[in-house]
């Protein structure tokens, strides 16, 4: 960062914010207004969507949207690139599937077990990885995730190559029959919205502000007296817990937990969804996830392998719109920002 | 423990793979003074500074602050005890507004910084104090601007406002004038003098005019060891000091 007279002239004085703050309240930022606008449009659309699209496909999209949003909490808002998130997603899928099938737990408890699995694994992974930076952090998370993959392959309860199949969907809270796709869709949507709201709340909380400060300038955050490792660990565990929630829901929707869920490809896929949609934006990862899931579903019938197409899109994304879809849209609406 | 001394080191030493960067430094900083640490390039000033702020672990020696041993303390914990540092490269949070930069420091004492389930609105009552601090360093017109968009000199001022938000008992400034133009140097000097009124300041600084202007006491380092200590008049007349600076190309 160099000081030039040019930058001096380009500085915004932020008069709007100043006026609002003078009135006693901080102004609602543009991002916040847009966020509300998107939410007001998107929620009704999500409610009517299963009447126009296949509900199982929509549920898949929701599960991956939650997974990517949870991942983004760590990468986009905490500045930490984990390459082991498949362990939380897939590990939770196995536990939820086992809980529903073998222990006979109802839907809500089985999915909760998934979130608890994510929490536990996140605590262990986080405690080990958090002291490392950058690529070393990514490598430690990858190595730990591969250990979980090995366990999934070897442990008796996971069914090895077959995975856990024919997981019963059960009855939600003892009243709603989830074998009906539409019922399961609305339950999935409800959980998704609640988890998404929690992510939004976290980003815009006192904790979220410190987390952002740590991402922006870690030594300075330390010198202000913050124990940055504790903040990072909380971000890691939150992210892992919500990834586990997504994995548990996914296992019930597809009635299946398999090695695909814990494979390192899954960790790569969530990175791709997040970058494609826009890392560090609230809605970006969900948009990226929906896009990737849609491509996987609708391109499956053509001859070119799907990974090739998604790879090509990713290259275009990196070359032409580095901030991701939502990131670029935000930048267009805010031309003053770099 | 002498009552007037706030920060003291005894035999402070730091070795890097056999190279002794700081060699047995005894330093005593008096409460409510502005103390400067100077010396030619490579004298160990910045290493010394990083040892004092716990960003580096000393190989040997002790550091006491307010009579308590802080040799093994973490950098975040000494900040909470009132010993706050600045950085050579201006340390702001670039993608946060000027106001947010100050708020993030102010909220540390609020006790809600781990609460991820609460809205930021619960910290709205800090805004008034944050605006006062921004105004105190002359940045009122930039309050809503992104810190990264500020010119360099203004970023320095913001960094000082952020530090002041912690109401530190002692400030350690690492080359506060580095990279600043003449006009900014005047402004930041005045600011440092003003904020030092009821605080202690220890600074590393190269600009001798600033050192002469601000410091009550000066410690000169050379090759990791203390060469001499005194007021500007005493130090600048010391033949050893002249020799040290001449020897490394300064006048």
A-proximal residues of B, 70-89, CB under 8 Å: 74-77, 79-80, 84-87
pLDDT at A332: 84
B-proximal residues of A, 25-54, CB under 8 Å: 25-26
> CA–CA separation, B228 vs B80, rounded Å?
32
Q: B16 forms bridges with which residues in the sheet?
A: B19
pLDDT at B247: 63
Q: Which of A86, A101, A73, A93 is nearest to A280 (CA)?
A: A73
CB A73 within 8 A of CB A208: no
CB A256 within 8 A of CB A163: yes
CB contact under 8 A, B145 and A10: no
Q: Would the CA dihedral through A241, A242, A248, A250 be positive or negative?
A: negative
> CA–CA separation, A91 vs A122, rounded Å?
11
- Measuring CA to CA, how many Å separate B223 from each of A203, B43, B202, B247? 47, 5, 20, 12
Q: Would the CA dihedral through A325, A327, A332, A333 be positive or negative?
A: positive
pLDDT at A16: 41
Residue B199 C-alpha, separation from nearest chain A C-alpha, in angstroms: 17
Structural domains present in chain B = 5-247 (3.40.50.300)
- Show Cβ contacts of residue B127 under 8 Å, excluding neighbours closer than 6 positions: A21, A24, A26, B99, B103
Q: How many CA atoms lie within 13 A of A243 on its CB side?
A: 33
Residue B76 CA, chain-centre distance (Å), reads 15
CA dihedral A65, A68, A73, A78 (to 10 degrees): -160
Of B53, B76, B145, the CB nearest to A226: B76
- Measuring CA to CA, how many Å separate A19 from each of A13, A101, A335, B134, B162? 11, 59, 21, 15, 22
In angstroms and rounded to an integer, the radius of gyration of the C-alpha atoms of chain B is 19
Residue numbers in chain A where pLDDT is lower than 50: 1-26, 337-338
Q: B219 forms bridges with which residues in the sheet?
A: B37, B229
Structure tokens at A309: 């197409």
CB contact under 8 A, B114 and A230: yes
Structure tokens at B25: 């430094």
A-proximal residues of B, 102-141, CB under 8 Å: 103-105, 107-108, 110, 112-120, 122-124, 127, 131, 141
> CA–CA separation, A158 vs B205, rounded Å?
64
The verdict on B4 touching A (C-beta cutoff 8 Å) is: no
The bridge status of strand A171-172 relative to strand A176-177 is antiparallel
CB B111 within 8 A of CB B161: no
Q: How many CA atoms lie within 13 A of A276 on its CB side?
A: 24
Structural domains present in chain A = 52-333 (1.10.3470)
pLDDT at A114: 96
Of A12, A201, A210, the CB nearest to B149: A12
Q: Which of A237, A240, A253, A245 is nearest to A111 (CA)?
A: A245
Q: Pick the residue from chain B with its C-alpha nearest to A220.
A: B91
pLDDT at A8: 38
pLDDT at A335: 58
Largest Cα–Cα separation, chain A = 69
Q: Would the CA dihedral through A131, A135, A140, A142 be positive or negative?
A: positive
Q: What is the 3-state secondary structure of B220-234?
A: EEECCEEEEEECHHH
Q: Which residues of A227-249 are buried (b: 16+ CB within 10 A; e: fewer)?
A: bbbebbbbbbbbbbbbbbbbbbb
CB contact under 8 A, A209 and B108: no
Q: Pick the residue from chain B with its C-alpha nearest to A208.
A: B116
Residue B170, judged by CB atoms within 10 A of its CB (0-12, 13-18, 19+), counts as buried
CB contact under 8 A, B149 and A219: no
Residue numbers in chain B where pLDDT is lower than 50: 1-2, 249-251
**Contacts of residue A14 in chain B, CB cutoff 8 Å?**
97-98, 142-145
Residue A188, judged by CB atoms within 10 A of its CB (0-12, 13-18, 19+), counts as buried
Which residue in B46, B70, B82, B104 has the most chain A C-beta atoms within 10 A of its own C-beta, making it the best mutation to test that interface? B104
């Amino acid at each position: 960062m160099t000081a030039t007279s040019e930058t001096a002239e380009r500085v915004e004085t932020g008069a709007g914010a100043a006026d609002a703050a003078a009135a006693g309240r901080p102004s609602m930022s543009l991002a916040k207004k847009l966020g509300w606008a998107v939410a007001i449009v998107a929620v009704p659309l999500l409610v009517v969507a299963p009447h126009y699209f296949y509900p199982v496909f929509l549920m898949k999209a929701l599960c991956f949207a939650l997974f990517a949003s949870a991942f983004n909490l760590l990468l986009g808002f905490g500045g930490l690139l984990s390459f082991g998130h498949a362990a939380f997603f897939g590990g939770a899928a196995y536990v939820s599937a086992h809980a529903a099938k073998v222990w006979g737990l109802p839907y809500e408890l089985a999915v909760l077990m998934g979130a608890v699995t994510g929490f536990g694994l996140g605590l262990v992974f986080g405690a080990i990885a958090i002291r490392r930076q950058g690529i070393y952090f990514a490598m430690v998370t990858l190595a730990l995730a591969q250990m979980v993959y090995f366990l999934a392959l070897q442990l008796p309860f996971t069914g090895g190559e077959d995975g856990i199949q024919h997981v019963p969907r059960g009855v939600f809270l003892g009243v709603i029959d989830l074998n009906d796709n539409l019922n399961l869709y609305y339950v999935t949507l409800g959980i998704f919205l609640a988890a998404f709201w929690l992510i939004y709340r976290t980003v815009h909380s006192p904790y979220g502000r410190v987390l952002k400060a740590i991402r922006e300038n870690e030594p300075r955050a330390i010198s202000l007296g913050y124990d940055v490792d504790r903040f990072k660990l909380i971000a890691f565990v939150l992210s892992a817990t919500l990834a586990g929630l997504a994995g548990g829901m996914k296992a019930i929707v597809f009635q299946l937990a398999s090695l695909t869920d814990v494979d390192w490809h899954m960790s790569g896929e969530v990175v791709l969804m997040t970058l494609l949609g826009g890392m560090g934006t609230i809605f970006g990862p969900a948009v990226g996830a929906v896009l990737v899931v849609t491509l996987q579903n609708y391109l499956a019938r053509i001859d070119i392998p799907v990974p090739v197409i998604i790879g090509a899109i990713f290259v275009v994304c990196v070359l032409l719109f580095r901030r991701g879809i939502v990131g670029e849209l935000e930048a267009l609406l805010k031309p003053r920002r770099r | 423990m002498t009552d007037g001394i706030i920060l003291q080191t005894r035999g402070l030493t730091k070795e890097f793979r056999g190279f002794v960067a700081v060699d047995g430094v005894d330093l005593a900083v008096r409460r409510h003074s502005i103390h400067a640490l100077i010396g030619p390039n490579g004298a160990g000033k910045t290493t010394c500074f990083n040892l004092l702020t716990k960003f580096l672990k000393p190989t040997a020696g002790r550091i006491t602050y307010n009579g308590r041993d802080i040799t093994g303390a973490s950098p975040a914990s000494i900040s909470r005890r009132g010993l706050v540092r600045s950085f050579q490269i201006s340390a702001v949070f670039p993608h946060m507004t000027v106001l947010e930069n100050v708020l993030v420091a102010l909220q540390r004492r609020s006790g809600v910084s781990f609460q991820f389930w609460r809205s930021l609105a619960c910290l709205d009552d800090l805004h008034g104090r944050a605006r006062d601090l921004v105004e105190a360093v002359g940045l009122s017109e930039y309050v809503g601007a992104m810190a990264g968009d500020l010119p360099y000199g203004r970023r320095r001022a913001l960094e000082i406002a952020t530090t002041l938000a912690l109401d530190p008992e002692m400030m350690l400034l690492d080359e506060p004038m580095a990279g600043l133009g003449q006009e900014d140097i005047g402004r930041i000097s005045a600011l440092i003098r003003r904020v030092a009124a009821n605080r202690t300041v220890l600074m590393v600084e190269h600009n001798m005019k600033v050192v002469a202007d601000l410091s009550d006491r000066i410690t000169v380092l050379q090759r990791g060891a203390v060469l001499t200590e005194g007021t500007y008049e005493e130090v600048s007349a010391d033949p050893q000091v002249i020799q040290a600076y001449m020897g490394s190309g300064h006048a």
